[in-house]
Amino acid sequence: MKIVFATNNKNKISEVQSMIPKNIKLLSLEDIGCFEDIPETQNTIEGNAKQKANYIKERFGFDCFADDTGLEVDALDGAPGVYSARYAGEQKNATDNMDKLLLELKDKTNKNAQFKTVIALNFISELKTFTGICKGEITTEKKGKKGFGYDPIFKPLGHEQTFAEMDLSLKNEIGHRGMAIAKLVAFLNGFVH
C-alpha cells in the first residue's frame, strides 16, 4: 500500500517510516510532484491537519495523511500552540522559536507544557483524525542535538532527558507523534494484507 504523508520534512518522514509496517510505503509531497506550500490557515492544530490532508486528496487524488503539531505551554495560556512553527516569525526558524519561548518563560515558575499532534487521514473518501499528547516541561536551556523543532527544550514527564537527547526509538515510543502514528497504523492495518 502506498500513502502520501503531506510533508517534505525529511526528519518527519524518516521518523514516521520507522514506525509503520514495511508494507506501507510513504510518499512525500516531492514524490507526487507537489511543490507548492499547502495552506495552513485554520486556528486549531486539528483544523490544519484536516486542511492539508483534504488539499492533497482534492488536488492530487491520493489517499493521504497530514499532521500538525503544536507545543502548548500552560504559563502562556496554550501558546505557541497552532503557531508553534512560526512563533518567532514567518522564517520558521527553530532556534529563534526556542529563544523566544525561553525568554518568555524566564521569570515563570510553571514550566508545564505538552506536545500535541493531530493526524488527519483522508482515506477511501473518509476523513479520520488521530491525536497524541505528550506532557512534560520546558527546560531552562537547550540540551541535545537529536530531533528537531522544540526538542532541545522539552523534557517529557518521568524522564531526565530532553527529546533532543533521546534515541529516536525512545522518543517514538513515548512521544506525541508516536502515539498518533500508533493509532493511525492500528487503523491502516485493517486494510493491509
22: three-class secondary structure by DSSP? coil
Spell out where the chain has E strands: 2-5, 25-27, 64-73, 80-81, 112-123, 126-138, 154-156
Measuring CA to CA, which residue among 64, 6, 2 is closest to residue 30? 6
* CA–CA dist 5, 65 (Å, integer): 5
Q: Which of 31, 63, 67, 68 is catalytic?
A: 68
Side chain identity at 44, as an amino acid letter?
Answer: T
* Alpha-carbon radius of gyration of the chain: 17
Active site residue 96: no
Question: In whole angstroms, how far apart are CA 192 and each of 1, 25, 78?
Answer: 7, 11, 38
Q: Quick one: cell of 19?
A: 514506525
Residues forming the active site: 68
